[in-house]
Structure 1
């Protein structure tokens, strides 16, 4: 560039290179050379001006406006004759379609040599805005700036080391510089050196400085413990508990004070070291000026000697301080930026784990299969295939120039956490809607009472449910895998755990709490006669209508005021709603209270207590002066809620029941929504996100593409961006932009066979090289992604070919599945993929339908539900017969019982195998419930009786001759009989259904 601007003619240069390659830094370097005169004679004494485009484009036209200002600057430059004009982002003033276009003003001065100019822009913008104007291009000499290689970048970082150390007050190790360059090259491929490496090192220094200035983690934890103890001490009313808390505080406080003093002393030493570095940096800058001088005199020599002497003294002093500081034990802070800090910076920037494997992470990798099995039931082979790909990548075994894994998922998937289809869910526009009636696009409420959109609805078939009972009396039915955000004991940290693990915590005596909800606001339902709402609840009111329940928030509060004026009362410091003999009204008022964000609990069938945060919350529910006067006397200042915002889980039922289930995916970062009429805070789910959560730390680290929307070749633009000139909004590609922002994530292409073949041609580069150029020419890195394609291809082949005993596919069936996958020709009945695409897939992962053992478990769950229904409704006790030997099997090998009979595969049409447990329902009705109905009717079985339901063989021969003359075993049948209580007590011990639930 220096050679171009010193030419006699065409002395205008334009620096073209990708962002971050150092274009602006080159110009800044020229400015420094001009300042000290270290340039050729032809430009000595020149000034370098940078054009401030934002200031020039000010809308004020009192001075003539933007174009007048540009003309004035050009005139000044022409008159001065010793000015070089620098325009960063040059394309901004040379875009003919822009209001800021000044090309026609600049070209004449450039052509006559009256203007010496340096511009900078990117390759893309040079091509789009400048290269098209041939006359303009002739006036500039293009200077291409390539990205620096590793060695050159390291040299630049070393040259900036002293300045960064002085600015941040830290020490940068040589290894940290090497790591900053190497890790930024590997993990920040979409950015360019030296910019990205400088940013990484700068950020690592800033984080190290922050760790010095911020209270250390162990101190924060101790401070939090003391604050919690102080808060508990203030709220505690029991004197013995107060004394114990006071002793604990007295024990921890001195230790905390000593640690604070130690931290402050250590920080003072590092701050002093920082001041020394700052002075050393100033000395280095002064010496650099003298080094570049062409002529030096004796005064300069004396000054240089003094500076060198001072530098030597300061460096010795700094070395002594550091040695003394780091020789101490139990250091709480440090000022060294090392490889660990660089790795943490890369991790925080990209989300990609690059640190050395810790023991906890090794344990996490070892237990990955277990975590996945919690989310994906009965698919051990699929889980093993995927988890090994992740483990290979993290342990450094797999290639680093390809995605972590690329899989095609075939066949039915497993099941996820879910709620009953009958569970009422509050919606902003439709009131309560059953869970099973929700659709994609509907809205429910999040924890904060704000509407949140449903992005996915996933039927789960029949599931085993438990009832979660909260301390305030609310209940919610959820399956064992359903998640709740919980707080354990005194910890303030929220964890997300499934119901089955929460059961374990409760059994250990742990205190488990879930968040409470805020007030919700419905879209519609406003009642015109607001005043009448106050009187809507009178002494003879039996219930609150839905028309009132779904009114606006302030109107619901008016209803509650009317209700409490009639039924409210104070019992010491308790504020009660009591409607004797009117349970329905109490239930409705309780519902309304939760909808306005007021916590309450059941005292008795016709009484509820308000759990208030403060007196104002109660006064908001009171209209009459009489009740307000009582409130002023009765209410405490502290409020009834010791832990506002949370409610304790009292118990989870030991008994279970089976119902059809569904899960939903909602669009909010917390994954929480309100379920049930009492608005319990619970989790949403999406089955296919199990892997994203386990591997990438969050279910949100997944991007799903519905391939039904990628049926045309034009959909390629959706993935990588529109061609130049077509993307008016410059939004880029949906896939490439997502991976740029989330390099460590999962990409899901759902129902891949529906996409246009051209989509897979584009993805070949991703699968092969782990990278892909978007429409702008930017290279996007995919080496830290997992790519999954789901497909229904060969679904019937998998279903029909599955071995009925093992549940797996024979080799010959797998060959047929692979052939169908590799047949892309529609004329030959194919819906598959090209061989070059299939060959780049790591594995075809087959999800099998339920095995016989799974179906037996489902049958037992449903048989238990029948047993409980009959016991509840008529006090009739059912016992299921013990297992017996199968026909032609040795008597010592029992296996046949009612569940086995129901789940026998030959009893089910092959097309229904993928329906899970629903065919079992029909079989139970036919084989058990219908005969049971006949027994109860014809034999007049009274309430309180005992009935045996057993699988047995008919009397007579166990062989029959079929239509073709072949001998066949006689299948077992279900037999029902009334037995005595004594017989029941003997048989219940051997009941196989009861055994499954022990």
Structure 2
């Protein structure tokens, strides 16, 4: 490698060599003509490229220019040799690509640079420029190419400064100037041209003047370099330039004096935080704040969040001021300056790191963080492709070296930081290699590497805390779940991003509903993540509905147009046939067939989608009726239908005709959010409609269709469900907690099944637990899950897992008195707080469940009353019966108090004592059961008539006050179902085609008689004729 001093000594000894290059064709230098050790031919070729346009200058100036060009190329090569890559263009690349010739070739030329010596003078000017300043100039040229302009003006230089991001850009960012905003203003100011195709775009007179003045600014401030701050100061001197006008537009000021004062004040503040000096070509190396940081390997496995923030690609951080301040405070420490954000999944830990990157990009951080770059490291990319031992360690060490060499100017962000433990060790604790955590420990302890981690509480406890050496290198910052009010503000801050994505708007009520409903009904996730997901899906849902509405209406319009065209073609065909123009009539007939097929396809597509609006449907039906009337030559009717069709079409036209997606309402409402939450959880959280309101008000009537003789129980349950649906209950407790007491067979379980089907949507919504399975002490853990180390730990609890999967359901604890007493300790928490914690530490919410327990306690007292011991039964007045029933309830409550603990009974909303069934109740139940059986038989095309004698016999055999309705079901099974089954099988055995109607009756002795009302023998299968059989045989 050739040092700079050696290169200058060798080349300066023969300055006449430059003149010889003027006669050599471009790129004509070769290694055979040179005798410079260590200098490759491509180096001379690159230097010769910098000599373009120098034929008109003298040998002395040519020698100077060539020497400078050659030195720049060699220095650029030496820099590239010492580092794998540079993050921006350096001076050598600028010279070799002839980017500076644009300065010399610009017309008209009125600057102080002589036209003849413009290239040499430009080289002398750019000799004083720092690499970041040159990068800003090149980015200005890139911006000119982007908007297809054939020159680089001061307005492009403003954008170039902002895109470069240091020095002057930070001063502008402190005033609120953003790159994207400046680009938009630039596009409005100059627009898009037709040029920009050439790589050598010249500078305007004002731009060249800015470049010259920047050197003067550097000299005035006694510095040897021209940095981006000097460029901005020089630009402010051109008061009437487009660059100043662009800044004035962005900063919303009309006074150039005010603009100049504001920018100079920001520049003074920025320059006070930066150290002067930089590595200047041709001068001594001095430390500088604008030195390039080589992060080739780091960015290969990560993302520069600071750059993404400057480009506006990050979501804004709303709130979290205390956590952000603590993170910045920890980063400012001398050692162990590594915060780790600890909180539950979805509370916004990573967003804090993104918010820090945004603050650094905006320059709104303390001085010690002003020049930091926040890079998010992806461990998955680091591990990908590491097939052999040592590959991962080599990659990670390269990243660590780049970060430590940056002298604490890079902050690494590692999401899920607990994955550092064991990563890359080839098998965790037994892999035999060092994991990522051990590789990072030394640099973390010395403070050479700054890292922001993020992990959950459980993972921090499991992975980080168990390694004290790693834990002491991090400082935890607890990130709690935000409140509902804070979450609403977060959603309001994020709403513009989602509105831009979905191309619609969110109402304030929708954002508030996203937080409120997700907090109330989605218990296993955390704010604001679950609210953001609900808001996002609601926007997607509305956008999908808009598309479907447009597609549906356009389909209807196409049907109407096709119908009108088909009508015209049909009329033309009929007219051509009458006038004996048969060829034309045949052509019209083919066209009519094509149109009819097209219309049918459109109708099928419309049928597959959702229903159209009423007017569109009417328009379609009118078109079909008109065609029928014309075909049948009912012209008067067709005329009337056409008049109605015209009227409907005019109404549609007044309403806007066929809407496009752009004309439909683009707004997400609270109702849309409620529908999304309902689809997620299965919980009816939408606003109560008129039909549902009417159904809830008359819920008792609906329940009485299947539950007979239990008025008190039905009323109590209906009141609880109305409270829950109206939103007046305590949202932290279950909808209600009931205990159904009474003898067997009176409808306790049947009422639960009816509730699950009518209110919760399906009988499958009932979670039934037979408490006889929990009689032993060790079976109690089955409800919430086995403890660690026991069989079934990973399966979860029988109760908790069922409610986690179906949070909107009825939970039935059948025959609860049979459970072990320890079970009631779990039920205490369930009934009072509406939540249980399973064996894995997960909290399960019972807030959307209806808890019902059934018990046979007190059944003897009820049976005794039914038998007449307390006067309850037949032959007793209604008032007297109610008095006796009240006494029975008191007896049952006393027995409940003697069996259950007071704290358990006190948590129940109501203890409902079911009445014993009377004979008239059994008759009504029998009618319900008969209807169910007859409905099943009707599905088999069998009509059954039950005579009154048969019904009476079934009721006599099925009524038993001590056992309720269960004997009745057994009697129906034996006398009705078994009898019909035997009859159907006998009919099939006797080759009858099948009975269509059957009548059942019973004799006085209780014998069941079956009478067939309509039947016929089955037709025998005909044998194939011999001839046909022979033909079939021959064919085979």
Q: Name the structure where helix makes up a greater proportion of residues.
A: 2
Q: Name the structure where strand makes up a greater proportion of residues.
A: 1
- Bigger relative contact order (CA 8 A; separation at least 6): 1
- State the structure with more CA Rg: 2
Q: TM-score of the superposition, structure 2-length normalised?
A: 0.47
Q: TM-score of the superposition, structure 1-length normalised?
A: 0.49
